[in-house]
Structure 1
Amino acid sequence: MDEGTKSTVSKLPLLTVRASPRDKEAWTARLKEELTALIQYVKLNKEQDKDWFHVECNKTGTRWNGKCWYYYEQIRYEFDLEFEIPVTYPTSAPELKLPQLEGLTSKMYRGGKICQTIHFQPLWAKNVPRFGIAHSLALSLGPWLAAEIPDLVGRGVIDSFKK
């Protein structure tokens, strides 16, 4: 993890409520913490002129969708982003999906789920329940985009995602 990422993550609030969507009232408290952390992360990104995603959830906070984008060689590449909160949350991290990129890189699973197993899953496991959606975006999706998009562009695979 680079120093910029460490600095950003250190400014995100850590979560305290250990609840999944099955926990009804406790989930409401967890979702409030999640949204607070996401708002803080968006605010930090905007202050640093590093805005790179937009997400929103359904009323229960169990399904999320939005967009993420990555600038490479002064060109913006934009992708749909979606994920669901697993029933084992927060013990298990959400599986972030970029369905438009399914099958275009070996660091992706069926359905467009990005690979998080080697680098992110152990970090998440050490930080249950303190990490949440904002941490997942900052420590999983952000680095994944930084590693994969330049490669995909270099191979000429994602020209159609230019914005």
Structure 2
Amino acid sequence: MEFSNLSDSLEKLPFIKTVAGPLDGDQWIERLKEEYTVLIQYIQANKDDDHDWFEIESNEDGTKWTGKCWYIHNFIKYEFDLQFEIPATYPSTPIEMELPELDGKTHKMYRGGKICLDIHFAPLWQKYQPKLGIAHALSAALGPWLAAEIPVLAEQGVVKPSS
């Protein structure tokens, strides 16, 4: 696969082959199996690299996801609730990652705590969809967003360390 100028972690992730969304019945189940496989692979690679930074789980049909993500800045851990829903038009429409407790704390976020992905991630998603999935969105969207925003928010005192 060819991802120019992207992280090694994203380059190591295989593409999703099944083209289906939540409204596609059995095809969605097949896609969801692939999504879980790639997600497990990504989590394991992060653990192997001592770079564990999120935990997520889905509802029964794989359309609503919740969990935690965290970022270490200056040896201090900042942890946030993470949630997202799979859009009905997925995979042609990218996932909107939400960090609700950061709502209104940065300009790089939309109402409800949805992180801004327009400039950097949305074009990548459009170029490679329907081959990208949840693990790709975490790797190429949420991870870089946290790396860019959390240090600034921490230095400004906008976010507080985890207890």
TM tier, smaller? over 0.9
1:162 Cα deviation from its structure 2 partner:
2.3
Q: Secondary structure at the match of 2:36?
A: helix
1:8 aligns with 2:12: no
1:21 aligns with 2:22: yes
Structure-2 residue corresponding to 1:139? 140
Q: Secondary structure at the match of 1:162?
A: coil
Structure-2 residue corresponding to 1:111? 112
Rounded Cα–Cα distance in structure 1 between residues aligned with 2:15 and 2:148: 26
Structure-2 residue corresponding to 1:69? 70
Q: Which runs of 4+ in 1 moved over 4 A?
A: none
Structure-2 residue corresponding to 1:52? 53
Identity in percent: 54
Q: How many residues align?
A: 161
1:129 Cα deviation from its structure 2 partner:
1.2
Rounded Cα–Cα distance in structure 1 between residues aligned with 2:10 and 2:104: 30
Stretches of structure 1 lacking an aligned partner (at least 5 in a row) = none
* CA deviation string 1:41-85 (max 9, x = no partner): 000000000000000000000000000000000000000000000
User: TM-score by structure 2 length?
Assistant: 0.95
* CA deviation string 1:96-127 (max 9, x = no partner): 00000000000000000000001100000011
Structure-2 residue corresponding to 1:162? 162
Stretches of structure 2 lacking an aligned partner (at least 5 in a row) = none
1:6 Cα deviation from its structure 2 partner:
2.6
1:30 Cα deviation from its structure 2 partner:
0.4
1:88 aligns with 2:89: yes
User: TM-score by structure 1 length?
Assistant: 0.95
Rounded Cα–Cα distance in structure 2 between residues aligned with 1:62 and 1:89: 10
